Amino acid sequence: MKMAVLEQPRSVDLEHSRLAEYVKLTRPRIGAMALFTVAVGYMVAAGTDFRTIVLLHTLVGAGLTAVGSSILNQWLERKSDAKMRRTMNRPLPTGRVHPLEALVLGTVLGIAGVVYLLMTLPTPAAAIVAAVTLITYVFVYTPLKPLTVWNTVVGAFPGALPPIIGWCAARGTITPDASALFLILFVWQMPHFFAIAWLYRDDYAAGGLRMLPSIDPDGRLTARAMIGTCLLLLPVTMLPALFQQGGTLFLSGAVCLSVLFLNCAIEFRKEPSRANAKYVLRSSLLYLAGLMLLLIGDGVLPRLVAH
């Protein structure tokens, strides 16, 4: 009887441990950020036609697709992850999850997300964009990482599609004004990932991944790329106001956020240090969160209240 009592908690612990490893594969923080932009895309596009159930269906489908993409990405990169300090303790490099498990799980979840969107939304547009996101992220961007430093630009394409999934869920198609959110996310990813690549440049080199800092030992080229893309964000950030998705408060706040973000990149140019790279990285996250909240506060909410 004592043996049975002792063995039961151990079995439960093993189950919890296995579940925890699967959760780590999903990279929940990255997924949460993507779903936040999906929700913003839906709310901006829906306007007064906002429907909670449609948004929930969209988040579930997009979430499953994002999780599947993340797992498949790690499955493809398991060998390079094993060579990098920041990733060597992930479930696949350590062997805590078998590669076949990850391949099956990622494939099933990715397809399930696309099918869910097809089954629950009135038009297939959101499902198509979700499928394109998964395919370009897993089968285009990921294989390019060991081949060219331009992988960041290529990877920014699937990275900018989540709000378009939300947009299509609301409108049933991609309209010209959807370009505002897409371009903001596309350009924003450049300085964001340049900062990450600088912080972990030795790790990326050890893993055989070609990032901009790997050919830029003094950081000057990386700094110029940061400043250039932050400068490009200034006009791009104004697009929602041009398309009447946000008002004066949004426009003024967006310009201020863009200038502050640019200043962080300039500080990195003055001294390409780890501290300043972290400064750029943190500022990029605050910039995106602040911009999306401004868009909701000065674009979405006033229309809902007026309606």
For 264-306, write each residue's pLDDT tens digit. 999 999 999 999 999 999 999 999 999 999 999 988 888 877 7
List all residues 6 or more positions away from 168 whose beta carbon is below 8 Å from its beta carbon: 45, 123, 125, 126, 128, 129, 174
**Mean pLDDT of the region 106-125:** 97
| Rounded distance between C-alpha atoms, residue 290 and residue 104, angstroms | 37
Pair 28, 127 in one domain: yes
Structure tokens at 38: 């999906």
Q: Which of 152, 174, 196 is the last residue of a domain?
A: 174
| Rounded distance between C-alpha atoms, residue 240 and residue 233, angstroms | 12
Instruction: Please check the confidence at residue 20 and state whether its pLDDT lies above 90.
Output: no
Q: Which of 174, 192, 210 is the last residue of a domain?
A: 174
Among 20-24, 80-84, 97-101, whose mean pLDDT is lowest? 20-24
Pair 170, 260 in one domain: no
Q: Which of 124, 159, 174 is the last residue of a domain?
A: 174
Pair 148, 224 in one domain: no
CATH number of the structural domain spanning residue 161: 1.10.357.140
Mean pLDDT of the residues in the chain: 91
Could you tell me if residue 12 is inside a domain? no
Range of the domain at 270: 175-307
Could you tell me if residue 204 is inside a domain? yes
**Mean pLDDT of the region 43-63:** 95
pLDDT value at residue 307: 63
For 178-204, write each residue's pLDDT tens digit. 999 999 999 999 999 999 999 999 999
Pair 73, 84 in one domain: yes
Could you tell me if residue 17 is inside a domain? no
How many folded domains does the chain comprise?
2
Could you tell me if residue 146 is inside a domain? yes
Q: How far, in Å, are 28, 47, 183 from residue 88 at the CA level? A: 18, 45, 33
Q: 0.85 exceeded by the pTM?
A: yes
Q: Tell me, what amino acid is at 37?
A: T
Pair 119, 210 in one domain: no
Instruction: Please check the confidence at residue 2 and state whether its pLDDT lies above 50.
Output: no
Pair 141, 201 in one domain: no
